[in-house]
Structure 1
Amino acid sequence: MSEPTAAGGVLDGLLADLRAESAVLDGLVAGLPAEDWARATPAEGWTVAHQIAHLAWSDDLAALAARDPEAFGAWLGGNFTEPPAAGADPVEEGAREGAAAEPSALLARWRAGRQEVLDALGAAPADVRVPWFGPPMKPASMATARLMETWAHGQDVADALGATREPTDRLRHIAHLGLRTLGFAFALRGLPVPERPVRLELTAPDGGAWSIGPAGAEDVVSGPALDFCLLVTQRRHRDDLALTAAGPVATAWLPIAQAFAGVPGQGRRPGG
């Protein structure tokens, strides 16, 4: 048997963290009565059921992309047109259709789908690029993106239920992704992609320090890692977070930071 590669070891760790993050959210919804699945979340028009349905829908597509890139490309070309078809929004439709199922069936679907993602990414060659809604990603980056999505939609569910989740070191993956998507956030809005690098100086959940990005960068974002992750997933408004930006690029980036693929979201209102 061959020894695991360094890339394989990184992917194994990411998949373990994705599994753990999914389990936290599963613990929030597994015992909910049916009426609580219908609770409104901070995402306009989306209930708890919509949030889980969206994760199930996107997990199904992530597994398809990893296992059959051509089939995923055909699905993408048939469902996301440019310009968009009038009234068509596959994301909203996927959430709406999934949320109409009985909670037990929806939960079972999400559990099966997220295991499919773990299996598909674990079996994919480490250097292959998996197609997605944004740029194609290697399996490790796809696992990071799935972890980010699970955490972000889990925040919506936690907010709806009045629950508080304990932040963990898994946030470091989301922080890395948030920094890597800096250029994407500018390009998505038709803005020039900055050439100056940005560094993150974040306080970890255990009180330690995380420094992410070039050591010599003059543009720096600092503050709690949790706050930065809430910002780049657009789960809290910039004004409600203890983040500071030094330098013109960091200052311009924070209001538009976005770690997820797709059109820019409206984010949360201050105090929301």
Structure 2
Amino acid sequence: MVSSVYTDLMDDGDELDALVPLDEQWYSQTPAPGWTVGRQVAHLADVAAMARAAAARTGPDANGTPRRPLELIEGPEPTVRRWRTERAAAARALGAAEQERDLPWLGGTAGPSLIAAALAMEVFGHGQDIVDTVGRGRTHTDRIGHVVWFGVRTRDFGYRAHGLEPPETRFRFEITAPSGALWGFGPDDADQRVIAPAVDFCLLVTCRRHRDDVDVKAAGREADRWLGIAQSYPGPAGAGRGPGQFRRR
């Protein structure tokens, strides 16, 4: 399904980088309330810096404390340069880290490849806000498999964000890659199933589309409930996107 999450992370970052506007659109509000395009890029730089620090096991960022967004005082070009520097450094540091050893991450620990997948999820989600704002197209490849895997692995985040106890029942996820390949996760005989194209699944779990606006199907009552609370990041559930806010692709 995937090659190297570290090289794929760089490729995804480079492709999004090429779509980031450096003109007045930098200050445009994105679909995320209170987030300009510039703030989105600054956040990606901050999260990459956290990952770099985690791999080095140094500094407060290694414990998951992001720096204050600097897009307004840095300006477009310095912020983008900082993001380029930090994402390259994070990919190198995570790739060079001992792969079987957990690193400090968001108040806990995680393996280097898991942190890299989390960064891929951030690039996908915040990148979607950017492309929705500037109105430019975005082409996805099977590199999106890292985001799919992360969304499956973090299934229980949505339950906890809504104050719910995650079920012990395992789900079966059947996700169709952009290439047409089928990615399966979970027991083949599971009663609770989620079936979706990869891009739609990732739009749902990153809360960039309402469930009504993506082609994600559920079989089973619990799986259907999950579609309404899915999120691939920890912490409180945000407002997300409303039904009909974006037309189904």
**Common fold, TM-score beyond 0.5?**
yes
In the other structure, the counterpart of 1:84 is none
2:243 and 2:225 mapped to 1: Cα distance? 18
Q: Is the 8 A contact 1:69 1:130 kept in 2?
A: no
Partner of 2:9: 18
Mapped contact 1:51–1:157 kept (Cα < 8 A): yes
Aligned to 2:171: 198
Match of 2:56 in 1: 67
Corresponding position: 1:28 with 2:19 = yes
* Equivalent in the alignment of 2:41: 52
Deviation of 1:135 after TM superposition, in Å, equals 4.3
Mapping of residues 12-161 of structure 1, within 5 Å: 13-29=4-20, 32-68=21-57, 71-72=60-61, 76=64, 94-95=68-69, 97-133=70-106, 135-161=108-134
Residues 127, 245 of structure 1: CA spacing in aligned structure 2 closer, same or farther, 3 A cutoff? Answer: same
Contact 1:129 1:137 in 2 (8 A): yes
- Given residue 264 of structure 1, which amino acid in structure 2 is its aligned partner? A
Provide the residue aligned with 2:205 in structure 1: 232
Residue 6 of structure 1 corresponds to which residue in structure 2? none
What do you get for the CA RMSD once the two structures are aligned? Answer: 1.9
User: Tell me, what secondary structure is at the counterpart of 1:184?
Assistant: helix
* AA matched with 2:39: H
Residue 87 of structure 1 corresponds to which residue in structure 2? Answer: none
1:257 matched to 2:246? The reply is no
Structure 1 residues 184 and 33, CA gap change in structure 2 (3 angstroms):
closer
- Return the alpha-carbon distance in structure 2 between the equivalents of residues 155 and 67 of structure 1: 29
The 2-side partners of 1:142 and 1:46 are apart by 24
| Partners of 1:158 and 1:271 in 2: CA distance | 18
Percent of paired sites with the same residue: 42
For residues 192 and 69 of structure 1, the distance between their equivalents in structure 2, rounded to whole angstroms, comes to 34
1:62 Cα offset (Å)? 1.4
The offset of 1:183, in angstroms, is 1.9
Gaps of 5+ in 1: 1-9, 80-89
Bigger CA radius of gyration? 1
Q: How many residues align?
A: 244
CA distance, structure 1, for counterparts of residue 243 and residue 108 of structure 2: 31
Return the TM-score normalized by structure 1.
0.83
In 2, Cα distance between equivalents of 1:68 and 1:98: 26
Provide, for residues 122-153 of structure 1, a one-character-per-residue CA deviation record: whole Å limited to 9, x for no partner: 22111111222264210010111101101111
Deviation, 1:212, is 1.9
Q: Distance in 2 between matches of 1:33 and 1:154?
A: 15
Any unmatched runs of 5+ in structure 2?
none
* Structure 2 residue matching 1:109: 3-state secondary structure: helix
Normalising by structure 2, we get a TM-score of 0.91
Alpha carbons 1:53, 1:99 under 8 Å: kept: no
User: In the alignment, is the contact (CA less than 8 A) between 1:49 and 1:99 conserved in 2?
Assistant: yes
* Aligned AA (1:216): D
Are the aligned partners of 2:194 and 2:217 in contact in 1 as well (CA < 8 Å)? yes
Residue 207 in structure 1 maps to residue 180 in structure 2 = yes
- Which of 139, 143, 147 lines up with 1:174 in the alignment? 147
Equivalent residue for 1:86? none
Aligned AA (1:48): V
- Gap change, CA 1:189 and 1:104, over 3 Å in 2: same
| Amino acid corresponding to residue 6 of structure 2 in structure 1 | L
